[in-house]
Structure 1
Amino acid sequence: MFKKISFPLTLLISGMLCFACGSKQAENNSTEGQNGWTSLFDGESLIGWKPLGGEAEFKIEDGAIVGIATANTPNTFLSTEKEYGDYILELDLKIEDETSNSGIIIRGQYDPEGNDGQGLVYGYQVEADPTDRAWSGGIYDEARRGWLYPLTLNPEAKDAFKMGEYNHYRIEAIGNEIKTWINGQEVAYVVDDMDAKGIIGLQVHSIGNPEHAGRKTYFKNIRIKTENLEPKPFEKDVFVVTNVDNHLTDYEKENGWKLLFNGQNSEGWVGAYKETFPDGGWTINEGVLTIEAAGGGESTNVGDIVTEEEYSAFDLAFQFKLTEGANSGVKYFVTLSEGNEGSAIGLEYQILDDERHPDAKKGRDGNRTLASLYDLIKADKPSRFVKPIGEWNHGRVVVYPNNHVEHYLNGVKVLEYERGSEAYKDLVAKSKYKVWDNFGQAEKGHILLQDHGNKVSFKTIKLKELQ
């Protein structure tokens, strides 16, 4: 026989059960709440979120937000109603089809009048790239500057993302530093000060093929921490993209990077074949080193400048800005021993306005164009990775201890070769450099910035010696 339970006791038991359920739900929704984490998604509703920019559908399935690709609509972002500044964001993301490009907008901006009145979300985006390119975790500047950190800069991280599985993203946006991880793998590191706060958005990319409509992207376990932030250090030696002028992070300093140009004076530089820095022609103003225009002749004005130190194996990164029709270059393994007239001899990362300077059509098969190994190897550069005249470009030259050499432009590797190989020697034999014995094969040399008579500017010139 069952005993009848009194009404007050029933209320007490019900209350205890509800409290336990509520406590469990709170625990699920604010994982590690005691450590400062806050859940941005309760697993049941889209409270605190709103779609922006397009008309893709979002719904909830099994405790996950599901974004559904929709034809004839722009990129759509399920965005937080609240803006965030400094934070650590974690979430799990799953893509089931390689057509379902996605990503996470961080510190995003919104223009309701943009995109012909449909609204435009723009700003930093951490990529989810299911294609063979595999740039997941890279940092893209949506609807603004394009790629800030393609995974050509960290190819070891390209296999971190797994198709058809939930991938754990960790994103740190603290001060002017943005770092990303996927499944514990360190992916991207950008220093940039364009946006200090903004929305968080979950992307469903636009589709060009209506047959791809209905394909899904999944997001869950979305949590954020905004106080008492402790940055997680990168353990591996990952290249840092810096858009803050003449600045090195502590991480870079610890890994051996140094500034070749301090942004204030000519310390560390002298004129080629000279003992001092040129009195005129080269100017330093507001952190920018500029060779002024002087008729377009090669080293006919004040001449090139070179580093006082010499280097053998190194990672060299720099920013440069061209004026219309300009020509210059960054040379390496410059020995100043050839006794030639004009610019000092060395391997050259070509800096050129390809469309307006006649040198682009000289040489062989385009080997005098922007980012090429001048007169030897043409740079294979997608046009979308070339910044317009008057904007800053990122150049990079890596010379490994085994004499493997790579050129990069705005984060994309555009050529590579083996210094001193038979293939290299064959190229030299067909070039203007054939008159110099063992051209470009010196054990060490100076870094050179070229005076070619056109106005060209440089900043954030940094180098790490490689062992």
Structure 2
Amino acid sequence: MKATIPSILLAFLLSACSSGPDLKPIFNGENLEGWVANREEIWTVADGVLTATNDPDQKGDILFTTKNDYRSFILELDFKFGEGRIDSGVFLRDNKEQIQIGESGSLKRDMTALPYIPGKGYPIQVETAQTVLEKTDWNTLRIEVNGSSYTTWLNGTEIMTYESETIVPRGPIGLQLHPKREMSISFRNILATELPE
């Protein structure tokens, strides 16, 4: 018994230290409450999963949180590739700074968990994500935005940190369905928390 109590205590302390900030759902798993889209018909919710499917016009869309004043925050979500050539991502505070999910239209290769910025392209290009990316199953993407710096993890593996000179100081979080693609992508367990500054 004496050996068991310290073991339990150690496990509890390790768990408490590794849990980090308390992430809370920002997607309720039932509908688009708390989010806004230009074209809601391409976003569907079933069994706790949010799926985006491009229509025949392939116009794409961005689903933004109605909360539009995120500053420093952690976002965590699960995603799963659907049909077609996947080009999606998570927008950070506006519709420009983005963490890519799937294939880059310009580079024609997967750039998941790396930043894309119009005018700069992909300022960091590493292959780390390709060693842990599950192309036929669910993946967990974690993004920590702290001021003008952001870091990504994919399935628990740290991918990169980038210091941006162009990111706006506050804004919403967005999920992208890229235009000019026949594709679908699913999301679930979308969690976030704001960080003190």
Range into which the TM-score falls when normalised by the shorter chain: 0.7 to 0.9
Q: Which of the two has higher C-alpha Rg?
A: 1
Please report how far the alpha carbon of residue 228 of structure 1 lies from its aligned counterpart in structure 2 after TM superposition.
4.7
Match of 1:139 in 2: 115
Amino acid at match of 1:139: P
Cα 1:198/1:148, change in 2 over 3 Å = farther
Match of 1:180 in 2: 152
Please report the TM-score for the alignment, with normalisation by the length of structure 1. 0.35
Cα 1:101/1:191, change in 2 over 3 Å = same
Alignment RMSD? 2.3
Gaps of 5+ in 1: 1-33, 109-121, 230-467
Match of 1:226 in 2: 194
Bigger proportion of residues as strand: 2
Structure 2 counterpart SS, 1:71: coil
Relative contact order, higher structure (CA 8 A, sep 6+)? 2
Structure 2 counterpart SS, 1:147: coil
Structure 2 counterpart SS, 1:188: strand
Contact 1:98 1:130 in 2 (8 A): no
Match of 1:199 in 2: 172
Match of 2:161 in 1: 189
Amino acid at match of 1:192: S
Cα 1:56/1:105, change in 2 over 3 Å = farther
Q: Distance in 1 between the 2:130 and 2:21 partners?
A: 31
* Percent identical: 26
Please report how far the alpha carbon of residue 193 of structure 1 lies from its aligned counterpart in structure 2 after TM superposition.
3.5
- Correspondence list, 1:192-341, <5 A: 192-194=164-166, 195-208=168-181, 212=182, 215-228=183-196
Please report how far the alpha carbon of residue 99 of structure 1 lies from its aligned counterpart in structure 2 after TM superposition.
1.1
Q: Distance in 2 between the 1:45 and 1:69 partners?
A: 18
Please report how far the alpha carbon of residue 35 of structure 1 lies from its aligned counterpart in structure 2 after TM superposition.
4.9
* 1:125 matches 2:93: no
User: 1:113-141 CA distances to partner (integer Å, 9 max, x unpaired)?
Assistant: xxxxxxxxx21111111577221111012
Structure 2 counterpart SS, 1:136: coil
Structure 2 counterpart SS, 1:149: coil
Cα 1:146/1:95, change in 2 over 3 Å = farther
Q: Distance in 2 between the 1:55 and 1:72 partners?
A: 14
Please report how far the alpha carbon of residue 203 of structure 1 lies from its aligned counterpart in structure 2 after TM superposition.
1.0
Amino acid at match of 2:72: D
Please report how far the alpha carbon of residue 147 of structure 1 lies from its aligned counterpart in structure 2 after TM superposition.
1.8
Please report the TM-score for the alignment, with normalisation by the length of structure 2. 0.78
Match of 2:79 in 1: 93
* 1:64 matches 2:37: no
Q: Give the number of equivalent residue pairs.
A: 173
Contact 1:69 1:206 in 2 (8 A): yes
Q: Distance in 1 between the 2:65 and 2:189 partners?
A: 15
Please report how far the alpha carbon of residue 185 of structure 1 lies from its aligned counterpart in structure 2 after TM superposition.
1.8
Cα 1:150/1:70, change in 2 over 3 Å = farther
